[in-house]
Structure 1
Amino acid sequence: MLGKKPFILSILAAGAVLAGCTQEATEQKDVQTAAPSHVEQTQTAGGEGLVENRRVYEQDVDGSIAYLYVTIVNEENDESETTTFSEINRSLDGINEQGEDLKAKIIMQEGTADGPATGLFGYGETRANGTIEVRGESSRAFQQKSYKLRLFKSTGNWRDQSNINLNKHRPDITRVRQKLSFDYFEQIPNMTSLRTQFVNLKIKDLTGKKPDRDYVDYGLFTQIEQPNKYFLQSHGLDRNGNLYKTNDFEFHRYEDKIKLATDPTYDKQAFESILEIKGSEDHQKLISMLDDLHDPIMNVQDFLDKHFDRENYYTWVAANILMGNSDTSDHNFYLYSPSNSEKWYLLPWDYDLSWGFFEEETKRSPQSGVGKWQFGISNYWISGLHRRVFKDPENVKVLNEKIEELSKIITKEQTDKYLQSYYPIASKYVKQQPDLYNLPQDVSKFDYEYGIISGEPERNKKRYYEAQENPMPFFMGEPEAEGDKLLFTWDHSYDLQGDDLTYDITIGYDPALTKVYTKATGLTKADYTAKYPGKGRFYWKVIVRDRKGNEQTAFDRVDNDEVTYHGVKEFVLK
């Protein structure tokens, strides 16, 4: 591999505004009839498929909202904890100088819209029963924070969960894309989901110079289940199995970081920069899978049969494509393997930037543009696993079949039902303080963006098939001087139809390549030699074309003055 991927964006098609959404911002108690009823477990096909206990979702009521009351208390704290909630919120990232999350002790209670209620969790508590901290990655810097509540073991669980993730989803003005995705995953065979719940959070801070007398409304959040050993157990899976959260995992071998825990040179922190360990720390199966993946002698079908559950694998890819979640090529998913099996399963995580989000973002900031490769299979070509799998035409055919199968589940009609059940809650909170404060765009855009969601799966399917006609993206290398010449090289592209490919290269003085130094077209090899241009800053771009004229650019990109130039790479000669 010659280069490193850029940050992934996607673009999807827009559509008409959802009709029939009620404008009443009232709590719905009976909207669970809008969605299919929960089944006990997934259906298996041909002896394959991920089986889980789906009774775990019986507490979910898709159009309901829970009210959580959190009191920040002055009690003795650990070193990583702070005594003031304002210190947590003022912090840029919620982390102290030692790199630990700032925490404060809390009393968490559940109630109604009027306050904590008798018979619900935490009622009558006078001592801390948990802690609060900021959660998320890039979202930590937002003024509207997301929070994690950790309940003490001695106080029990809230809805069978001890880690309560409360996500604000600030970039998503609709606040429903995450919940919609996981409500769908509850119905999709060969897949797990995560329990979700709309939450209105109210906080009373007793740790400041002027303690709050009443609870302060922090608005709407989505509570989402934490994948960990307890998640595995409650979903009927193997809590002793392997479970990894992917951070920057392109299915390379990573021999310098991915090692056995018994290896004297094992560095857990380095390992977790790629894969966070949420289950067993025995990495033998993971290493065996990666070794076989990068063994050119091993047939890809034999590899899949040995290491992956095919039904789960194709379901995960197809669901991401239909939901428009392109930010899953190297992160935002979990890897799971039960202790009594060699098989690996891909589990979903983080869908708040799906369902047309990036298309609308690109419309608002057209200068950011979008890479042509960020649709369908080409979006996953950056991954060593997906690239090897889909170089086999038979596997593309199977994915096409899975796309059609899931299209009968993820439909416009069913999506409309989900959205109608969420609308009274989402519209009520987004259109009032505090959620109205610091929205990513004007609140008048809420109904439009809410309305385009239900048409996304059909538009994404159309784009998926269209993108298969284009060659696959590739990486560009670093130019190398050879005397008075400069050698440019790049990875070979790949065409799913097996067409012959040619390359066009342009070298210029600006990222838009309006000032050209030299160019060449119709190259059949993945290299080009140019006369040395002298000192300065230069840019170059390679376009690959098949015999029918379908084209593709490289993964590389240049960000310059808030403008993104896709398929372009910069180099400096001194």
Structure 2
Amino acid sequence: MTDKMMSRRRLIEAAAGALLLSGCSSQDESSTKKVKKQGKIKKADASDQSKHLRDKDDLYEVYDDSGIVTMYLTVSRGNSSENTDHSWAEINTYSVYDYQAMDVERYQVLGLLQPGDDKGPVAGEVGYGEEAPNATVQVRGQSSSKGVQKNYKVELKRGKGTWRQQRSIALNKHMSEGLRFRNKMAYDLIRGIPQMMGLRTQFVHLWVCDQTEKSNDTFADYGLFTQVEQLNKTALKAHGLDKDGHLYKVNNFEFERYKDIIKLADDPSFNQADFDYLLETKGDSDHSKLIEMLDALNDDSQKIDDVLATYFDSENLVYWMAFQILTGNCDTQNRNFYLYSPLNSKGWYFLDWDNDGMLRKRELEIQDHTDYSSWERGVSNYWVNVLFRRALKSKLFRRELDDAVKDVRSFLTEARLSKMIKHYREVTESLVFASPDIDHLPVTKDEYEQIAAAIPSEIEENYKSYRESYKKPMPFYIGVPQIENGKLRINWDASYDFETRDIRYTVELARDYAITDVVFKAEDVLLPEVTCDAPDTGQYFARVRATNSDGYTQDAFDYYVTDDGKQYGMKCFYVQDGGKVVEDTYAEG
């Protein structure tokens, strides 16, 4: 923690202590009598109370999380009533998308979880000396569930004990991440930023004994995992938050109103599956407060500064956003975070979740992967989100964000990151560079060295991208082209410039996403629409770019997905016989 942040925390704690030692203390009898005699007792108005969230420092001091914990997991078949009558092979075969196609719940097996050390289970830990299962086990995650190596959710049964006061144990492999320590690193960094709420994490070496098919007493090495505390009622209580409050896991949500989906749960037309696609309910299921906030946010007649003051804590928003921007954790525009609100409050807070995509610029470059570039750098990455789009149009919010970015930047120093990386490497490399993990690592040892060495400098690169993003026009969406009377019409939303600079557009129509086989091109376009002769049947790519009067250029939001990643700024579509235009929806990602 920087001296600046440490001093801020000490000031807050000192102020709190001073209040407790003031005339309100029952131990200072003379002071109490004096206050009562003068009739000057002053009660704080509820509106004056601080709405900032602060994590509990002592929560992280109970256990040493700097090394690796070994866990032994014995899996066996259960019963059909609990959906545990399955084999370990089945558990590791199917992805979440397979379950969706089969229209069944994720398969589970019974498990006996026994934490310990490299010699075996340790006395005093959950499951020690037991033979009967104490948990259920299933694959966790979404896109990660398609990987060869899986992430697991181990749910300890009620009455069977806890591990570090937790019943739900999430073990993440981070298979697509070459270093395998980024998520742990993120939460360790967040602990040093008072304005952010973190979660407890621990490196885990997992061994599994499969008894689902036959009798077996041999444990197989499953390599390195990162355990991350699950955001649930137990975690909320542990971190000093309201366990009975509202908590949503954000899956695909840009803070649009979505009136056909986001309704009260007792509405006859409410569809839980559709709601979960946007937001998974992890707390109170009364959505009325969420609806109230979204109604206000999507009402352009209400000033955004007033909406933020009523329904959000700007400190929470700007520090969460600053951390994502500086660490380059780009896949956070509409997912990979939680929304939390205390039960008797209108306020909503962002809670951090899933950081294995941070500080990956060099790794993506080595892999010739184009993702997380173009508009996904800087503030433009959040322009798709109604909340941040409206907030960023506020000069007050931009000033607060800039202050937060500078503050967090002063904490994320190269020296700090280098020291942390050195430690993580010492702890994890013996597992990362051994089977089974080395067999599926997406980088070579030489590439690993390059990536680890480049991480500390990425903060400054991301800071420069942040500063430059204000100079560019903001991204926008391209409409689906239409053919009418032998003409192809291409239109798009107008771009936005923070300094209201003049914006012109360049439009290209090509038969390839590299935009080399060009059919039509128009430059210096003022209005967001062009027409050209209708092309022949086939696949086409319409690319639109906005350039302001200072010469800064921005791509459209739309992109085309290839094996190498995203090709930015273009809409892919097909012209069929009869002039029908069909959009390539997969191209949207």
The question of a shared fold, defined as TM-score above 0.5 by the shorter chain, is answered with: yes
1:538 deviation in Å?
2.5
The answer as to whether partners of 2:178 and 2:363 remain within 8 angstroms in 1 is no
Asked if the contact 2:374–2:555 (Cα under 8 Å) also holds between the matched residues in 1, the reply is yes
Is 1:506 paired with 2:508? yes
The 1:414/1:370 distance shift into structure 2, 3 A limit, reads closer
Quote how far apart the aligned CAs of 1:454 are: 2.2
Equivalent pair of 2:361/2:458 in contact (CA under 8 Å) = no
Is 2:526 aligned against 1:524?
Answer: yes
1:55 to 43, 51, 58: 58
- Partners of 2:6 and 2:356 lie apart in 1 by 22
> Alpha-carbon deviation of 1:564?
4.3
Match of 2:28 in 1: none
User: Whole-Å Cα distance in 2 between the matches of residues 564 and 301 of structure 1?
Assistant: 35
Q: Could you say if the C-alpha distance between residues 225 and 412 of structure 1 is closer, same or farther in structure 2, counting changes exceeding 3 Å?
A: same
Deviates more, 1:113-122 or 1:51-60: 51-60
C-alpha distance after superposition, 1:276-327 (max 9, x if no partner): 0000001111111111111111001001001100100101100101111000
Match of 2:324 among 311, 316, 320: 320
Match of 1:345 in 2: 349
Equivalent of 1:229, from 228, 233, 240? 233
Letter in 1 for 2:151: S
Conservation of the 8 A alpha-carbon contact between 2:141 and 2:151? yes
* 2:205 match: secondary structure: strand
User: Which residue pairs with 1:194 in the alignment?
Assistant: 199
CA positional deviation for 1:536: 3.5
Tell me whether 212-221 or 53-62 shows the greater mean CA deviation: 53-62
Check if 1:272 corresponds to 2:276.
yes
Counterpart CA distance in 2 for 1:465 and 1:391 is 16
Q: What is the identity, as a one-letter code, of the residue corresponding to 2:259?
A: E
1:330 to 2:334 alignment:
yes
What corresponds to 1:390 in structure 2? 392
> Over residues 469-496 of structure 1, what are the superposed CA-to-partner deviations in whole Å (9 max), with x where a residue is unaligned?
1111110001223323222210000112
1:85 to partner: Cα distance: 1.5
Which structure has the higher relative contact order (CA within 8 Å, separation 6+)?
A: 1
Aligned-partner residue type, residue 312 of structure 1: N
Q: Which residue of 2 aligns with 1:468?
A: 470
**What SS does structure 1 have at the residue aligned with 2:71?**
strand
Contact 1:42 1:190 in 2 (8 A): no
Kindly tell me: are residues 490 and 155 of structure 1, through their superposed partners in 2, closer, same or farther at Cα, counting changes over 3 Å? same
Letter in 2 for 1:484: G
Q: Out of 87, 90, 104, which is 1:87 matched to?
A: 90
- C-alpha separation in 1, matches of 2:62 and 2:448: 29
Match of 1:130 among 125, 135, 151: 135
Q: 1:486 to 1:76 in 2, by over 3 A?
A: closer
1:157 aligns with 2:159: no
In 2, distance between residues paired with 1:80 and 1:40?
51
Give the conservation status (yes or no) of the 8 Å contact 2:79–2:85.
Answer: no
Deviates more, 1:522-531 or 1:369-378: 369-378
Q: Return the offset for 1:272.
A: 0.9
Work out whether residues 77 and 86 of structure 2, in 8 Å CA contact, stay in contact via their aligned partners in 1.
yes
Q: Which residue of 2 aligns with 1:377?
A: 379
TM-score for both structures, normalised by structure 2: 0.86
Residue 482 of structure 1 aligns to which amino acid in structure 2? Answer: E
Give me the whole-angstrom Cα distance separating, in 1, the residues matched to 2:511 and 2:185: 46
Distance in 1 between residues matched to 2:115 and 2:381, nearest whole Å: 42
Deviation digits for residues 520-545 of structure 1 (CA, Å, limit 9, x no counterpart): 21111111122333444322211111
Distance across 2 between alignment mates of 1:369 and 1:273: 23
1 or 2, which has the higher helix percentage?
2
Query: What SS does the aligned partner of 2:532 have?
Result: strand
More deviation, 66-75/281-290: 66-75
Q: Greater shift after overlay, 175-184 or 409-418?
A: 409-418
Measure, in 2, the Cα distance between the counterparts of 1:363 and 1:422.
Answer: 21
Query: Is 1:116 aligned with 2:121?
Result: yes
1:69 alignment partner, one of 72, 77, 83: 72
Deviations 1:76-134 (A, max 9, x none): 45351134222212334584944211111111111111011222221101211111111
> Secondary structure of the equivalent of 1:427?
helix
Quote the Cα distance in structure 2 between the aligned partners of 1:295 and 1:450.
46
Match for residue 287 of structure 2?
A: 283
Pairwise CA distance, 1:48:
4.3
Q: Is the 8 A contact 1:362 1:369 kept in 2?
A: no
Counterpart Cα distance in 1 of 2:168 and 2:220: 22
Correspondence for 1:167? 172
CA distance in 1 between counterparts of 2:300 and 2:461 reads 37
Q: Give the TM-score normalised by structure 1.
A: 0.88
Structure 2: gaps spanning 5 or more residues = 16-47, 578-589
1:252 to 253, 256, 276: 256
In structure 2, do the counterparts of structure 1 residues 561 and 416 end up closer, same or farther at CA, with 3 Å as the change threshold? closer
Q: 1:58 is aligned with what amino acid?
A: E
**Residue 302 of structure 1: aligned partner:** 306
Higher-Rg structure is 2
Letter in 1 for 2:353: W
Looking at structure 2, the residues matched to 230 and 42 of structure 1 have their Cα atoms a distance apart, in angstroms, of: 26
How many Å separate the matches in 1 of 2:166 and 2:531?
A: 61
> Which of 244, 265, 278 in structure 2 is aligned with 1:261?
265
CA distance in 2, matches of 1:150, 1:452: 38
**Amino acid of the residue matched to residue 425 of structure 2?**
Y
| Aligned residues of 1:106 and 1:132 also touching (Cα < 8 A) | yes
The separation in 2 between residues aligned to 1:117 and 1:214, in whole angstroms, is 18
Tell me, in whole angstroms, the C-alpha distance in 1 between the residues paired with 2:189 and 2:318: 16
Percent identical among aligned pairs is 37
CA gap of 1:75–1:394, structure 2 versus 1, over 3 A, is: closer
Kindly tell me the number of residue pairs found equivalent between the two proteins.
Answer: 536
CA distance in 1: counterparts of 2:436 and 2:574, whole angstroms: 48
Distance 1:185 1:371, change over 3 A: closer
